[in-house]
């Protein structure tokens, strides 16, 4: 999920009552809820699509769940002590207990992979013990309705706290409402994949922006080119929210020229490692592009695609597409 959602979840957990357990509880919860995204630093050394195969991995797995909160709790504890030595510690801050700081940092950090699992992008929950991707297909990666539930609940809680009211209850109601909303979306996804997609071996129900009650049903074609993961030779059906179908064009290698394509092996390997429903397509210049059906819409194509170099095209594309 986006970082605003992660931050709101951490803040609402604090307003549900946990922020009174120790000083600096809110920073522990909010920063902890965002901490696994430190893997975004990979943009400093990875190129092109390579980041797709790196992110949501090692910093989102079990070892990180333990170590990242420990680092955060240590930094916050040290910050409090540093302020106290310099006489700049706020008078209204509660006493800081390292144990509670670690527990709250851990809770905040744990909410991150749970939320990331909810969308179609995927997460490697068991890294480094396993590189398997897990997908919840429950929420769109940016969910404005979840923003509204958590944001309004946070505002009401802070407002009640300012006026001496029961601010904990507002936070608790917001958390309950968020859980109920997520559960409702899980039921919608299950219905789309198991009822609408009942006649297919595989069906991916992809949530769409704004209309949380709708699902874009992706049915991968059985014709594949590579073994792991498959490249779709012919049409992958994307059943749109209005009942129409949008289909990637059938791949025709004879229409694509690949001599000037500059993609590297590492980019393609990373893309295929990340991709869930990959397929081949010719772009406007006649070059071969690998895309993913989850992100076939024009707004996402540039960020979720990779060009094939000539050597890769010769390796991947058979002379007879039916072979």
- What confidence tens digit (pLDDT) does each residue in 152-172 have? 999 999 999 999 999 999 999
Res 226 pLDDT > 50: no
Q: Are 161 and 254 contained in the same domain? A: no
Q: Are 41 and 122 contained in the same domain? A: yes
Q: Are 26 and 138 contained in the same domain? A: yes
Boundaries of domain holding 282: 222-316
pLDDT of residue 289: 81
3-state helix, strand, coil in the chain (%, to 5): 50, 10, 40
pLDDT of residue 266: 80
- Token readout for 234 is 């012919």
For residue 216, being part of any structural domain is answered with no
Cα separation of 321 and 310, whole Å? 17
Do residues 231 and 225 touch, judged by C-beta distance below 8 A? Answer: yes
Q: pTM for this one?
A: 0.85
CA torsion 90→92→98→99, rounded to 10°? -170
In the sheet that 305-307 helps form, which strands lie side by side, from edge to edge? 278-282, 288-292, 305-307
Kindly state the average pLDDT of the residues 82-106. 95
Quote the number of domains for the chain.
Answer: 2
Q: Are 33 and 146 contained in the same domain? A: yes
Angle between helices 25-34 and 62-85 (to 10 degrees): 140
- Token readout for 294 is 């989850």
Q: Are 8 and 134 contained in the same domain? A: yes
Give bridge partners of residue 238 from the DSSP assignment.
218, 246
Half-sphere exposure in the Cβ direction for 165 (13 Å, CA): 12
């Amino acid at each position: 999920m986006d970082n605003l959602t992660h931050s709101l979840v951490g803040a609402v957990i604090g307003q549900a009552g946990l922020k009174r357990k120790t000083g600096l509880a809110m920073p522990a919860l909010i920063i902890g809820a965002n901490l696994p995204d430190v893997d975004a630093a990979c943009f400093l050394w990875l190129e092109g699509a390579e980041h797709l195969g790196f992110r949501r991995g090692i910093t989102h797995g079990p070892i990180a769940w333990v170590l990242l909160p420990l680092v955060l709790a240590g930094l916050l504890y040290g910050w409090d002590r540093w302020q106290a030595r310099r006489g700049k510690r706020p008078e209204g801050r509660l006493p800081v207990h390292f144990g509670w700081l670690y527990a709250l940092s851990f809770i905040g950090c744990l909410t991150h992979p749970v939320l990331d699992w909810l969308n179609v992008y995927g997460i490697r929950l068991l890294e480094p013990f396993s590189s398997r991707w897990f997908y919840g297909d429950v929420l769109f990666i940016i969910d404005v309705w979840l923003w509204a539930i958590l944001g309004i609940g946070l505002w009401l809680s802070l407002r009640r706290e300012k006026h001496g009211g029961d601010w904990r209850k507002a936070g608790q109601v917001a958390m309950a409402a968020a859980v109920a909303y997520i559960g409702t979306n899980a039921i919608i996804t299950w219905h789309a994949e198991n009822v609408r997609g009942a006649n297919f071996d595989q069906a991916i129900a992809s949530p769409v922006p704004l209309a949380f009650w709708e699902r874009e049903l992706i049915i991968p074609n059985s014709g594949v080119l590579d073994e792991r993961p498959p490249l779709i030779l012919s049409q992958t059906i994307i059943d749109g929210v209005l009942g129409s179908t949008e289909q990637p064009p059938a791949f025709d290698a004879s229409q694509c020229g690949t001599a000037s394509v500059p993609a590297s092996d590492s980019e393609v390997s990373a893309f295929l490692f990340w991709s869930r429903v990959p397929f081949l397509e010719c772009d406007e210049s006649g070059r071969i592009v690998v895309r993913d059906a989850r992100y076939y819409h024009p707004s996402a194509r540039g960020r979720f695609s990779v060009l094939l170099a000539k050597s890769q095209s010769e390796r991947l594309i058979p002379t007879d597409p039916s072979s």
